[in-house]
Structure 1
């Protein structure tokens, strides 16, 4: 597989994860959560997006090989 494609896909997943985390943190603050709670929710959203991307990549890899 092309190294540039892997790097581009990794960067895209990281950008999406950061955007999801920022959105979750902002929504938590708008809901009245404290800063530590909002940061925890943002970190959870970030980890969840990365976990889902890893699971999807693993599933697709099984079909592509």
Structure 2
């Protein structure tokens, strides 16, 4: 694996993690703002984080397999 490819993978994973964190925090904040309890808001934020991260990782895998 070339250094350029390794760097691209690390950058893509960093972007995916950042996007997932933002989605999770936004979902938790909006849920809490809606008036639900803190545990419910954390649960919904975690679901949003996990699903966004899964989608991003699937997209990265698709992109990397298409490039080879």
TM-score category of the 2 structures, normalised to the smaller one = 0.7 to 0.9
Counting matched residue pairs gives 65
Shift of the 32–24 alpha-carbon distance from structure 1 to 2, 3 Å rule, reads: same
TM-score, normalised by the number of residues in structure 2: 0.82
Is the aligned partner of 1:23 residue 2:36? no
Question: Which residue of structure 2 lines up, in the alignment, with residue 8 of structure 1?
Answer: 11
Specify every segment of 5 or more residues in structure 1 that has no aligned partner in the other structure, as ranges.
none
TM-score, normalised by the number of residues in structure 1: 0.86
Specify every segment of 5 or more residues in structure 2 that has no aligned partner in the other structure, as ranges.
none
Residue correspondence of structure 1 range 39-50 to structure 2 within 5 A: 39-50=42-53
